[in-house]
Structure 1
Amino acid sequence: MSVYIHSVGMTKFGNSENNSLKDLMLAACREALDQANGLKIDAVYVGNFMGGSLANQEILGAIVANDLGLGYIPTAKLEGACASGGIAFRQGVLGILSGEYENVLVVGAEKMKHASTAEVTQVINSAMDQTTNEKYAGLTFPGFFGVTANRYFYETGASKAHLAMIALKNRENALNNPLAQFQKPTTIEEILNARIITDPLGLFDCSPITDGAAAVVLSSKPSDIKILASAQASGPTMMQDATDLLSLSAIRLSGRQAYEKAGIGPQDIDVVEIHDCFSMTEMIAIEELGFFPKLEGWLAIEQGKTRVNGEKPVNTSGGLLSRGHPIGATGIAQIYQLVHQLRGNAPNQLEKLPRLALAQNLGGTGAYSVVHILERV
């Protein structure tokens, strides 16, 4: 049995102060359902991380089924920190592969902008192990990837300028994406001189607080987009457990599993959406997924190989850094962009119509990674 994508939907990312978490979910779902040619939905999976904490709202799956009139079908909310959307998508795929369902609606959503930065940060930090000495030492997500960046600089010829190149590329891509959070042009100088969050990461190196939702309808019935592979892996939950600070094992393992399932290699992928929660994360991910040799990602960035017109276009949507990062929605937003790339109508559409696309969604400091490979058929 195979699984196909029939339709996708997505809200604009950014500040949706007049919309609730429920409003955002339903808007994305309605868009996807309107394009699904009347497929009867058998189950709903929701990717969400902080609905209970920030929006005081749980039972999200049941709310979607009820308010959309889908009947008394099975529903569930999946949580895997920033990989919540990708994990929900994977569960939808597995539900169809098992033979239990024919058609599944998957939606990822988050409502974050109404809360203070301190509140959001506190909730985000729950995606780190709270019982360890690292927590009491004050380690944060920017701190983790700041340490990683400094170590990468030490091991290679890379510098803060290479991180700025990633941030600039993703901002330039977002300018052409009407659903992206950041629509204001910037320069390499502005990025390099921006306020430091954690050395060497500045403001533009860190993904923003965002509201938004994205949805997809999966089916066993054939369409023009086939899911070639779905893979998931876990990794160390503490920095002190990492055998290599410059490796995120969950990304490497989930990527390897996905390639094996699809019967292809990284060289076959035409377009990529990567989880760039920080500019440094994109640097590591392009190496872990085998697009470039280990410790040489910075050279690929310098040579423009990950730009829209490069040999391995990465984050043509603008990525988390500039499209925005409503945590539960991110994994589905990656799928949204890749579906449009494969269909030839995406923001920053590749000149040559791509056939194979890869989405990689990360949770925590490498605690989860989900990889999906899509094919235009």
Structure 2
Amino acid sequence: MSMYRGRKVYVAAAMSSEVGKYNGREKEKLDFFALAEQAEQVFLNSPIDKSQIDAVVVGSQNPFAFNGVDNLGAKIAGILGISGAKSILLDTASSSGASAFENGYLEIASGRYENVLVIGIQKMSDISTENATKIIAGVIDKEESEYGLTMPACGALVARALMHENNLSNEKWSEFSAKLTARAHHYAAQNPKAHNNFLLPTEQYFSDIAEGKNYLYYEPLRYHDFCPMSDAVSACILTATPQDIIVAGVGSATDIPTIAERTSLTTFPATVIASRHAYGMAGIRQVRELENRVHINMHDPFNGFGPINMVDLGFSDRSELFTFLLDEAISGENGRFATNLTGGLKGRGHPLGATGMVQIAENFDILRQNNRLKVAISHSIGGPINNNVVIILENTVHYENRPNRPFRPTDLPKANQMRPKHISLETLFSDQHEIKARIVASTSKFHWKSGTPQNVLVVFEAAYEKKNYRFLIGTGPENYEHLTHLKPGDSMMLNRNESGAMLINEVPIMRVYRKTMDGVVRVADKYFDKLGKILKKDGHKE
């Protein structure tokens, strides 16, 4: 079956600001709109003039919560002196920039417009890290977030699942994670626009553990295993007028909003589906045939995501999970499948809704500057790994001289499904007092300074009416010792005490947070009181 392909769309120009914090300390102090003004640089070497722009498409994650800015598309169009054009804001969480690009592409491919300006922008440094974490938690399922699930916790659950499936000890995981971090910084150090523009060799990774700088955050992930929170603006001009770089394919897909109910935490179906649609549009039937001609710019905010991404995008076998990215002959600058040569999210930084567009600008520059590489793939993840976008840019001559007939992909994975609404933790107890369940994954959050646990998250599977369902629950720090020994596959018991409270292995289940009407997650008062007492008892100040 063939796939519809509209008019050809080209990239006329692209730009990206430096990635970092424009807070007056790390970089010059810029407010949101001063940062947005930098997007005008895209016109400096563009064959398309500002007066020719028919539409302005902006991608940004929750700019009202971060910066108090609404009606953003029109405001940015006005700042850039573009009047009369269509303007729109797209928010698909951290894939917003990539989604904006896809929307701009479709505006031209449909024949509606000739030239579209696409912008990705995010300014996270206007607020504290704590408040930023609360805003970002708004993309997570309400119930799971109230039990304590955050985006870093998602990354930790994925890492724990990888460890279990591949029989990795904590020591082996740390060795692998240290090498991934060193790799990201190796390339970021060569990227003058990167946030983490410095080397971080494996020796420093471990010495920083000893000195308390690379502290355990969400088990098994440490401080150096996470991307920084960044500011940036990036833009490109899409056009129907032929240029050196063509948009060969775009694809996007969603997954369910919950983490617990997914059949696997070591593959991301939305990435697989999005990439297969992009490959189909580009007429690429065997992606590995792009060997020695492709750069992959993939979304790796936490150590553990990168290896999974390379399998899901079709470049790596599962047997290469822990070797592909560490083998320079495979994924290095001169490797068969060059990957994240600008540092990735871990090295370059992750300005949320701008990241997808920063990847586009980087790939555009790579294709224009590197004669060996002819195809550049960008991969962006939105929300809790459930709103993903894949975009393929290509040297136009290369595209025109290879088989490029589009096709509709058929090798798509089965999508995850949410459990029926009437199935809940309460439902499990409707006809029984005690329930046997199986651990799927778990993680604990630790205080950065004291190292004491702050909460415990457990994903488990239990049967109801002969079908298995998965749930995520949380409990307080005082129960860490009771649950830390549990491993995936272990049995556990759920029951109720005399007051009706739910227990897991005799430990009370508790909601760590509650969501307010404005979408911000607030730590529950009783939990904070209990945590404060524990820290005080241990001689620490919160």
Smaller-chain TM-score bracket: over 0.9
Residue in 1 that maps onto 2:37: 26
1:327, 1:115 → 2: CA distance? 14
SS where residue 218 of structure 1 aligns?
strand
Residue in 2 that maps onto 1:322: 347
Structure 2 length as normaliser, TM-score?
0.66
Give the deviation of 1:184 after TM superposition: 2.3
Relative contact order (alpha carbons < 8 A, sep ≥ 6): 1 or 2 greater?
1
One-letter code of the match for 2:359? Q
One-letter code of the match for 1:112? M
Give the deviation of 1:295 after TM superposition: 4.9
Residue in 2 that maps onto 1:5: 11
Alignment of 1:94-105 (within 5 A): 94-105=106-117
Residue in 1 that maps onto 2:456: none
Residue in 1 that maps onto 2:313: 289
Give the deviation of 1:157 after TM superposition: 5.5
Gaps of 5+ in 2: 1-6, 24-28, 397-542
SS where residue 13 of structure 2 aligns?
strand
Residue 56 in 1 paired to residue 68 in 2? yes
Larger helix proportion of the pair: 1
Deviation string, structure 1 residues 179-210 (Cα, Å, up to 9, x no partner): 11112221113334311221111112111111
Alignment of 1:119-138 (within 5 A): 119-130=131-142, 132=143, 134-138=144-148
1:35, 1:157 → 2: CA distance? 52
Residue in 2 that maps onto 1:143: 153
Larger strand proportion of the pair: 2
Greater radius of gyration (CA) = 2
1:166, 1:262 → 2: CA distance? 31
Residue in 2 that maps onto 1:263: 283
Residue in 2 that maps onto 1:375: 394
One-letter code of the match for 2:18? K
1:15, 1:100 → 2: CA distance? 37
| 8 Å Cα contact 2:14/2:236 also seen in 1 | yes
SS where residue 366 of structure 1 aligns?
coil
1:317, 1:280 → 2: CA distance? 18
2:113, 2:204 → 1: CA distance? 50
Deviation string, structure 1 residues 80-135 (Cα, Å, up to 9, x no partner): 010000000000000001111100000001111131111000001011112x2x22
Deviation string, structure 1 residues 260-303 (Cα, Å, up to 9, x no partner): 11111321441110011112111210110011112532121343
Deviation string, structure 1 residues 206-228 (Cα, Å, up to 9, x no partner): 11111111000000111000000
Residue 306 in 1 paired to residue 306 in 2? no
Q: 119-128 or 142-151, which moves further after superposition?
A: 142-151
One-letter code of the match for 1:338? N
Residue 47 in 1 paired to residue 59 in 2? yes
Q: 1:180 aligns with which of 183, 189, 194?
A: 194
Residue 81 in 1 paired to residue 93 in 2? yes
1:234, 1:161 → 2: CA distance? 33
Residue in 2 that maps onto 1:248: 268
SS where residue 154 of structure 1 aligns?
helix
One-letter code of the match for 1:154? H
SS where residue 341 of structure 2 aligns?
coil
Residue 280 in 1 paired to residue 304 in 2? yes
1:310–1:38 distance in 2 versus 1, CA, 3 Å: closer
2:336, 2:160 → 1: CA distance? 27
2:376, 2:356 → 1: CA distance? 14
| 8 Å Cα contact 2:90/2:96 also seen in 1 | yes
SS where residue 236 of structure 2 aligns?
strand
Aligned length: 368
1:101, 1:166 → 2: CA distance? 43
| 8 Å Cα contact 2:254/2:387 also seen in 1 | yes
| 8 Å Cα contact 1:14/1:212 also seen in 2 | yes
Q: 186-195 or 245-254, which moves further after superposition?
A: 186-195
Give the deviation of 1:160 after TM superposition: 2.8
One-letter code of the match for 2:149? L
1:181–1:332 distance in 2 versus 1, CA, 3 Å: same
Gaps of 5+ in 1: none
Aligned CA-pair RMSD: 1.4
1:190, 1:114 → 2: CA distance? 30
One-letter code of the match for 2:152? P
What is the aligned-residue identity percentage?
29
One-letter code of the match for 1:170? A
1:171, 1:358 → 2: CA distance? 21
Residue 110 in 1 paired to residue 122 in 2? yes
| 8 Å Cα contact 1:50/1:110 also seen in 2 | no
2:299, 2:199 → 1: CA distance? 22
| 8 Å Cα contact 1:341/1:353 also seen in 2 | no
SS where residue 73 of structure 2 aligns?
helix
2:157, 2:203 → 1: CA distance? 23
Residue 335 in 1 paired to residue 345 in 2? no
Residue 163 in 1 paired to residue 186 in 2? no
Residue in 1 that maps onto 2:233: 213
Residue in 2 that maps onto 1:152: 162
SS where residue 210 of structure 1 aligns?
coil
Residue in 2 that maps onto 1:91: 103
Deviation string, structure 1 residues 321-372 (Cα, Å, up to 9, x no partner): 111111111000001111111001xxxx5xx520111000001121111000
Give the deviation of 1:309 after TM superposition: 2.8
2:394, 2:326 → 1: CA distance? 29
SS where residue 301 of structure 1 aligns?
helix
